[in-house]
């Protein structure tokens, strides 16, 4: 549970950065899984997306296939605040390790997660927790957020299929030109073990990793158990829209 002021800050800004939530040994145990999670291809139950260079960009489903990630996804220090924000039990919508290798990791354009998820037959009753697995700096492509932008509501998105190897739903340029001012942008720099809790309508993006430091994070996204997807045309697969609805205990 958070205190009243922390919850009020989350509701005002659309995010809270909780510094030092995980200890160094806990982060080391998560990073020790990385060779296996990144290197094995094939029928290991994980889903991977790659950069155009071939480097791994994302690994989905570590919370089902790796004990330290399974424990993390159920950790009371994360799930407690998530349930407090949502006001109900939650299940894991998906988990993804966003890798951003040194020099190779590429951008995520400005978007709101709900700009994708609205197509999955749900309402915006989610919280995501981004756990920093490396130091996050401006040079290595830390996340950038726009405080308070979750209160703008869902902005128009389009599907960008050219910027990276990966289809991204992004906020239309005309909307960005109208709404976004330079001084609004806040870089989420931090240390391994920090955790960023954020709202599904928070406007966010991140740049290329131009640094010799990798920038790995794992994002655990939780949905209200009362918000399971309604039928839609072309439902997305279970690795990104989980069909396991059991409440996290
Ligand atoms: O990892 C990042 O820098 C951004 C990730 C993101 O916005 C996403 O996965 O939707």
Q: Of ligand 1's atoms, which has the minimum distance to the CA of residue 100? A: 1
Asked if the structure places residue 187 within a domain, the reply is: yes
- Which of 49, 108, 140, 209 has most ligand 1 atoms within 8 Å of CB, for mutation? 108
Q: Which of 9-13, 38-42, 141-145, 184-188 is the least confident region? A: 38-42
**CA distance readout (Å), 96 to 60, 73, 108, 171, 210:** 4, 11, 14, 21, 22
Asked if the structure places residue 109 within a domain, the reply is: yes
Number of residues written out for the chain: 249
Asked if the structure places residue 67 within a domain, the reply is: yes
Tell me which residue has tokens 């697969």. 237
Query: 234: how many CB neighbours lie within 10 A of its CB?
Result: 5
Q: Where are any strands of DSSP class E within 37-188?
A: 47-50, 56-60, 90-98, 108-111, 126-132, 143-145, 157-160, 168-171, 186-187
Residue-range definition of the domain harbouring residue 212: 4-227
Asked if the structure places residue 34 within a domain, the reply is: yes
Distance 217 CA to ligand 1 centre (A): 9
Cα–Cα distance between 92 and 85 in angstroms, integer? 15
Summarize the chain as % helix, strand, coil (round to 5): 30, 25, 45
Say what the pLDDT of residue 166 is. 80
Asked if the structure places residue 235 within a domain, the reply is: no
Distance 236 CA to ligand 1 centre (A): 18
- Compute the average pLDDT of residues 203-214: 98
Q: Which of 125, 145, 147, 143 is nearest to 222 (CA)?
A: 125
Say what the pLDDT of residue 138 is. 98
Distance 44 CA to ligand 1 centre (A): 24
Per-residue pLDDT tens over the stretch 52-72: 988 999 999 999 999 999 999
Tell me which residue has tokens 């020099």. 103
40 pLDDT band, cuts 50/70/90, is low
Could you give the angle at the alpha carbon of 246 between the alpha carbons of 242 and 249, nearest 5°?
Answer: 120
Q: Which of 80, 124, 114 is nearest to 224 (CA)?
A: 124
Per-residue pLDDT tens over the stretch 101-148: 999 999 999 999 999 999 999 999 999 999 999 999 999 999 999 999
- C-beta of residue 187 within 8 angstroms of C-beta of residue 82: no
Distance 80 CA to ligand 1 centre (A): 23
Say what the pLDDT of residue 121 is. 98
Q: State pTM to two decimals.
A: 0.98
> Which residues form the pocket of ligand 1, taking CB atoms under 6 Å from any ligand atom?
98, 108, 113, 143, 204, 206, 217, 219
Cα–Cα distance between 201 and 148 in angstroms, integer? 10
The packing angle between helices 4-13 and 76-86, to 10°, is 70
42 pLDDT band, cuts 50/70/90, is low
Asked if the structure places residue 158 within a domain, the reply is: yes
CA within 13 Å, CB half, 209: 23
Cα–Cα distance between 206 and 108 in angstroms, integer? 5
Distance 205 CA to ligand 1 centre (A): 7
Asked if the structure places residue 171 within a domain, the reply is: yes
Q: What is the number of domains present in the chain?
A: 1
Q: pLDDT at residue 43 above 80?
A: no
Q: Of ligand 1's atoms, which has the minimum distance to the CA of residue 141? A: 3
Nearest CA to ligand 1 atom 1: 98
Asked if the structure places residue 248 within a domain, the reply is: no
Specify the CATH number for the domain of residue 121: 2.60.120.620
Q: Which two tokens stand for residue 118?
A: 């609205």
**CA distance readout (Å), 46 to 26, 56, 60, 151, 176:** 22, 12, 6, 34, 34
Give the residues across from 94 on adjacent strands.
221
Q: Please provide the distance, in angstroms rounded to a whole number, between the alpha carbons at the two ends of the chain.
A: 15
Q: Of ligand 1's atoms, which has the minimum distance to the CA of residue 108? A: 4
């Amino acid at each position: 549970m958070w205190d009243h002021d922390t919850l009020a800050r989350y509701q005002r800004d659309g995010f809270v950065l909780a510094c030092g939530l995980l200890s160094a040994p806990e982060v080391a145990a998560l990073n020790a899984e990385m060779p296996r999670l990144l290197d094995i291809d094939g029928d290991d139950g994980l889903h991977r997306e790659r950069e155009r260079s071939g480097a791994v960009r994302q690994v989905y489903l570590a919370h089902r296939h790796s004990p330290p990630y399974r424990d993390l996804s159920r950790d009371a220090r994360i799930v407690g605040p998530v349930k407090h924000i949502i006001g109900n039990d939650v299940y894991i919508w998906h988990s993804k390790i966003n890798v951003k290798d040194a020099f190779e990791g590429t951008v995520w354009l400005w978007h709101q997660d709900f700009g994708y998820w609205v197509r999955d037959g749900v309402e915006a009753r989610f919280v995501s927790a981004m756990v920093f697995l490396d130091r996050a700096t401006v040079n290595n492509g830390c996340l950038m957020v726009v405080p308070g932008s979750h209160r703008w509501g869902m902005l128009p998105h389009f599907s960008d299929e050219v910027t990276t190897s990966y289809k991204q739903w992004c906020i239309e340029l005309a909307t960005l030109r109208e709404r976004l001012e330079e001084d609004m942008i806040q870089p989420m720099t931090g240390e391994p073990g920090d955790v960023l809790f954020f709202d599904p309508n928070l406007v966010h993006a991140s740049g290329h990793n131009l640094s010799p430091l990798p920038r790995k994070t794992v994002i655990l996204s939780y949905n209200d158990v009362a918000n399971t997807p309604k039928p839609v045309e072309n439902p997305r697969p279970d690795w990104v829209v989980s069909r396991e609805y059991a409440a996290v205990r």
